[in-house]
Structure 1
């Protein structure tokens, strides 16, 4: 006799034991693990006041969680990296309320990975649970951001519209070491990369990669300063409060920090997360400008570390075609969207179809002008 499934909604991830939750999370994903989600909840980065009210949907069998979909009730679209402000404006013009909405994603994190935790066969039950939440909250829609291609396909069968995007990722093509990687670049790109590294050395700056547990309190304070500096340059306050940087982040597993020092004093840094054979770049900042330093801290040092430590994939965040000439190639990303109002859903579906054609054409053009001599062997998902 098959055990009956039950669906419930939890208002914070710690409603489920960490070990039980983490057993559902893919091995290479540091962001959907209980520790990370709990850290942004406790720090106030996530919550009703922040416009990210947790409403995670879980499926249980005999009291044990067998599937989950991390979900948030949103009152805006900031920090999602799948931009739907145009949809919200169109809804407003049509007299359709767009907010609140439901979003299944990692807050402030455009990591391209799966979103359904546990057995994918339970996706229909999860979606049914999300629909109940939507109705109760009066939300307009449900958005699953940076899901896998397989999840997007499964969600399409449940009435969702697929949206394509792309990011620039580095993948190990059997380079062996950093010299092997550089040797595969075209002559022009190789000279540019080596010049950038030389500029940093000649400026008297030392760049090192550290595991998070090896950093001092002062180092973490510097990382928060760098983050604030970058946010202010863009006219933003930032999503992550000081408490997260100084209290929550130092205790998180899977952190990898690149620090640039001059005379032993940190002048720039980048926060990354790594688990399994994947590495994810997140936040960068600096106290001063040094030629080539951004590229060294955010790309070159990470690729070198990846090759030394068996990491096969580096995602350096959203956007940035400047990554192409430094060995990062365009990879398709996927999201899925279902809007209750049929008029708006139809318009969004039509838009996503046209946008997908443009995205594929752009990716193809980038691949034709890639940085590697003799082309690239990369044939990733959806490329």
Structure 2
């Protein structure tokens, strides 16, 4: 097996890369990651420098890969290490650059070790890629190496390799097979059901209607409108809008039905919009924006329309984005997420390991409390995933 570093995903064919992503995770598709590079959404400007790892067998066939970047900042990662960076800098050890195995700007759990699914024994490739990432970090003199939002299998492999694990929490919706949205609401307690119905009714009373457009159906006006809403969110709050209109256009053309646009409008005029992506079994909410404040419109556009879509399409999982404890009362379950970390400096590693141990205990207590006291579901209608989360330890 030979492992090399690629600074451009265009050095790999889409067919070869996507063969390593058989479940069709939209953010791991060649089309998504390459579009980020094509339109300078990653690179020098925003401090995401592609250093993808590619593993080839002795027939020069791609059998493994890692989406890997050298970072000159911590923006767009959603696993916040600014306190670690500050401690490192105060100790006289530069924190940047560092290496990050992740999907830029995308806090979605998925595989970070992409392995050919036809291999009879994937472990040598898996171990080789982890070792190669460590070699890169050491040879480049980097402060650290971080794997963000790996799935359970990759997390186990990284822990076995000696990485420190960090536990986070997101809020995900799952369905056991609801017939329709009303069937979903019937699983709520009366008080919570009444509140959710009232929120949906307020949107209707404002004269707002929703329409859903998939990427290959969107026209130039749709993309310009969506990008305007996306940009407005950053203008109103904080941060930098790293995704541009050409990037959105390319995604629509290249990824088709995996791109889902949800528009809210009054008399045919869009007033808000959300951008989602879908795989074979899941919907992922990513970005949202609006031109004015309308009561409960964010909940309807970003949550309830997505739930309704999942029920109609038979999707079992809806991840509406990072953070947001208010999602729990609307049927989203607190769900553990993970990251894995290698720290070059021994004393800093020891301090971070102690912090992570205490943070994880607190996070487990937090998730248990939410599940025990704040879920909106009737006791006999708990989604199976809620019962699983109660047993995370």
User: Which of 45, 50, 53 matches 2:49?
Assistant: 53
Match of residue 158 from structure 2: 155
Describe the superposition over 1:50-72 as per-residue Cα deviations: whole angstroms up to 9, x where unpaired: 20000011111020111111100
Contact 1:144-1:335 within 8 A present in 2 as well: yes
Alignment of 1:200-211 (within 5 A): 200-211=203-214
Contact 1:43-1:248 within 8 A present in 2 as well: no
Match of residue 165 from structure 1: 168
Match of residue 132 from structure 1: 135
Is 1:192 matched with 2:189? no
Find the residue that maps to 2:27 and give its secondary structure: coil
Alignment of 1:134-283 (within 5 A): 134-245=137-248, 247-253=249-255, 254-283=258-287
Find the residue that maps to 1:57 and give its secondary structure: strand
Contact 1:331-1:380 within 8 A present in 2 as well: no
Match of residue 67 from structure 1: 64
Residues 380 and 316 of structure 1, relative CA distance in 2, 3 Å threshold: farther
Find the residue that maps to 2:363 and give its secondary structure: helix
Find the residue that maps to 2:327 and give its secondary structure: helix
Find the residue that maps to 2:384 and give its secondary structure: coil
Contact 2:70-2:98 within 8 A present in 1 as well: yes
Match of residue 301 from structure 1: 305
Describe the superposition over 1:252-290 as per-residue Cα deviations: whole angstroms up to 9, x where unpaired: 311001100111111100000001011100000001111
CA distance in 2, matches of 1:354, 1:318: 22
User: Which of 314, 320, 342 matches 1:316?
Assistant: 320
Q: RMSD of aligned C-alpha atoms?
A: 1.4
- Give ranges in structure 2 of 5+ residues lacking alignment: 117-121
Match of residue 42 from structure 1: 38
CA distance in 2, matches of 1:176, 1:114: 31
User: Which of 345, 351, 355 matches 1:347?
Assistant: 351
Match of residue 362 from structure 1: 366
CA distance in 2, matches of 1:84, 1:210: 37
CA distance in 2, matches of 1:362, 1:302: 26
CA distance in 1, matches of 2:388, 2:113: 20
Find the residue that maps to 2:295 and give its secondary structure: coil
Q: Displacement, 1:380?
A: 4.8
Find the residue that maps to 2:21 and give its secondary structure: coil
CA distance in 2, matches of 1:262, 1:251: 27
- The structure 1 segments of at least 4 consecutive aligned residues displaced by more than 3 Å after TM superposition are 379-383
Residues 194 and 312 of structure 1, relative CA distance in 2, 3 Å threshold: same
- Give ranges in structure 1 of 5+ residues lacking alignment: none
Match of residue 88 from structure 2: 91
Is 1:101 matched with 2:98? yes
Q: How many residues align?
A: 378
Describe the superposition over 1:322-368 as per-residue Cα deviations: whole angstroms up to 9, x where unpaired: 11111100110011000111111111111111110011000001111
CA distance in 2, matches of 1:192, 1:26: 40
Describe the superposition over 1:90-133 as per-residue Cα deviations: whole angstroms up to 9, x where unpaired: 11111111110000000000011221101551222112211232
Q: TM-score, normalised by structure 2?
A: 0.93
CA distance in 2, matches of 1:284, 1:362: 27
CA distance in 2, matches of 1:140, 1:228: 33
Is 1:290 matched with 2:294? yes
Match of residue 110 from structure 1: 107
Describe the superposition over 1:174-202 as per-residue Cα deviations: whole angstroms up to 9, x where unpaired: 22221110100111111111111111111
Q: Displacement, 1:249?
A: 3.0
CA distance in 1, matches of 2:166, 2:232: 33
Contact 1:60-1:67 within 8 A present in 2 as well: yes
